[in-house]
Amino acid sequence: MRLAAVVASLLALMACTAPPAPAADHLVVAVANSPTNLDPGVGLDETSQRIHQLLYSSLARIGPDLRVMPDLATSIETTDARHYRVTLTPGVRFHDGRDLTSADVVYTYRRFLDPTFVSGRKGAYTNVESVEAVDRHTVLFTLKTPSAAFPANLTNMGIVPEGGGAELARNPVGSGPYRIVAFVPDDRVELAAFEEYYRGAPLNSGLTVKVVPDETMRGLELRNGSVDIVVNDLSPDLIHGLQERHHVQVVTAPGTDYAYVGLNLRDPVLSDVRVRQALAYAINREDIVEHLRRGQARAAAGIIPPMSWAYTDDLQQYRYDPARAMALLDEAGFPDPDGDGPEPRLRLTLKTSTTEAYRLQAAVLQDQLRRVGIDLDLRSYEFVTLFADVVRGNVQLYTLIFVGGSVADPDILRRVFHSSQIPPVGFNRAHYASAEVDALIDAATAAATEDERRGYYLAVQRHVARDVPIISLWVRDNVAVAQSDLRGISLSPLGDFDFLRSVERIQ
């Protein structure tokens, strides 16, 4: 009887303290990986960046034509491309009720000038000399040298409150459409609608960003209704199966997410451009797009997306040509040791994620390279481990994706290919160094007009295409799979999560 009384008391206590059931208009969004850091100045992985979009507001954003437009800023003005005067929207509030002012913008960006602050984003701000508050709603950025490209670095960088510090990693305070309720690593992020969001309150009461690492489980949860929406986190095969057999809606739009094979040019074998070109010729991108991606992507020749004003298709093309690949390997000193026998010309290691779609892609790459005499050892890792190895240079070959806003502006060419952008300050994970490319990128950065910038960027792309520091695979379409009772799903080219604030459940 005493035990029964204790159990009854515990059940009563649990009933009193259990969280209330979510409202009917609360949405569950499934993602493949847990965010690593909710501080927008630090978290670089895809899931972290997606959640930053929900929690924070940026001074500027990328529009549908991939040009920079004001967001928190009402204007971004310059007369000499060295001094940028940014005027803020008045009356914007953080989730804790504080006003967002120029002091918060100064704090957000001065962190990147602090030598003790560790961030892969710092490379975007190496040209910043100072950030000063002119008045409560005006900030002046002063650059070391003129840069017409600078406004792009004001996008996708959430403004944090002055003095936020290391606490932001787990307890973020932003001014975006949602505020944090709970963050349980490797499980979920609970968000509630921020009614005072300056662009208007979300049309739903909140979101649960649920970590579901297994793709099959993400599909099952969509099927049984425990997940409402998945964006760009399902393989084309699974999407096709769900669409055929279950009552879900599939929304697609052209995207900018860029998949590639990364190369470590410090490796003695990969330092030879002929080997890199051979690898590029040995890969059949069209087969990968048609069969693995079910046509939900386009074969890529470079990192700049087709809808960008700086895009060109006038690049050295690496269409599938195994004979050319083998000839280049012969020239590089890797002849076939036994003709049609089993011995390879050389052995390489490729690291990829444990996500099924990318493990399948790695297997296809392994088969394609085998046909030209390259034995590819495949190793798959959880994303956090894979990404850490890539940043440290503990790789030979690897596969990753540049997502959304990171490739929207052609300044990505500087972040990925300029010799000053080697990690941890930038994205030059290939350790690529070309004095000519550096000079062209510097000229593009300093150019006064968009036409001038475009000319330099086209030249950069042509040089990079010849040198092959990374191998382009495909640019994927954005695909959202959602319950049929949701409306308001409209995907931008960036595949970002900003649209979620406009999604509502039909009653």
> What residue ranges do the domains of the chain occupy?
21-39+176-253+478-505, 57-164, 258-476
Residue range 410-429: mean pLDDT, rounded:
91
Instruction: Say what percent of the chain tops pLDDT 90.
Output: 71
User: Tokens 């695909």 sit at which residue?
Assistant: 479
Q: Which residue has the higher pLDDT, 62 or 418?
A: 418
| Fold match between domain 21-39+176-253+478-505 and domain 57-164 | no
Query: Does the structure show a pLDDT above 60 at 211?
Result: yes
Question: Does residue 300 register a pLDDT over 70?
Answer: yes
CATH homologous superfamily of 57-164 equals Dipeptide-binding Protein; Domain 1 (3.90.76.10)
pLDDT for residue 52 is more than 90: yes
pLDDT on residue 405? 65
Fold topology of 258-476: Dipeptide-binding Protein; domain 3 (3.10.105)
Give the global pTM: 0.76
Tell me which of 313 and 162 has the higher pLDDT: 162
Sign of CA dihedral 36, 215, 383, 495: negative
Instruction: Write the DSSP assignment of 264-330 as a string of letters.
Output: -TTSTTTTSHHHHHHHHHH--HHHIIIIISTTSEEE-SSSS-TTSTT----S------HHHHHHHHH
Residue-level pLDDT at 22:
66
Q: Which residues contact 307 (CB under 8 A, 6 or more apart)?
A: 65, 66, 254, 256, 493
* 262, 430 contact by CB (below 8 A): yes
Q: Which pLDDT belongs to residue 395? A: 97
For tokens 């386009």, the residue is: 298
Round the CA-based radius of gyration of the chain to a whole number and report it. Answer: 24
Average pLDDT over residues 411-421: 93
Judged by phi (left if over 0) then psi (alpha if -120 to 50, else beta), residue 330 lies in alpha
Q: What is the pLDDT of residues 275-286, one digit of tens each?
A: 999 999 999 999
pLDDT of 242 over the 80 cut: yes
Whole-angstrom distance, CA of residue 279 vs CA of residue 273: 10
Per-residue confidence at 2, pLDDT binned at 50, 70, 90? low
| CA separation for the pair 188, 186 (Å, rounded) | 7
According to the model, what pLDDT value does residue 147 have?
A: 87
∠ CA 60-228-496, rounded to 5°: 20
Higher-confidence position of 38 and 63: 38
Distance (Å, rounded) from C-alpha 218 to C-alpha 202? Answer: 25
Ordered DSSP codes for 358-400: HHHHHHHHHHHHHTTTEEEEEEEE-HHHHHHHHHHT--SEEEE
- Rounded mean pLDDT, 209-228: 94
Residues 238-261 have a mean pLDDT of 89
Query: Where is pLDDT greater, at 309 or 448?
Result: 309
Domain 21-39+176-253+478-505 maps to which CATH number in 3.50.50.60, 3.40.190.10, 3.30.413.10, 2.40.50.100? Answer: 3.40.190.10
Summary mean pLDDT of the chain: 91
pLDDT at 12 over 70: no
Token readout for 67 is: 């040009």
Between residues 63 and 417, the one the model is more confident about: 417
- Average pLDDT value for residue range 396-406: 86
Confidence of residue 384 (pLDDT cuts 50, 70, 90): confident
pLDDT band at 11 (very low <50, low <70, confident <90, very high): very low
Query: Could you tell me what percentage of the chain is helix, strand and coil, using 3-state DSSP and rounding each to the nearest 5?
Result: 35, 25, 45
Residue 213 pLDDT greater than 60, yes or no:
yes
State residue 21's pLDDT score: 60
State which amino acid sits at residue 20.
P
- Is there a contact between 56 and 160 (Cβ–Cβ < 8 Å)? yes
Top mean-pLDDT range of 6-20, 143-157, 238-252, 374-388: 374-388
Give the pLDDT mean for 135-157: 92
Residue 313: per-residue pLDDT: 87
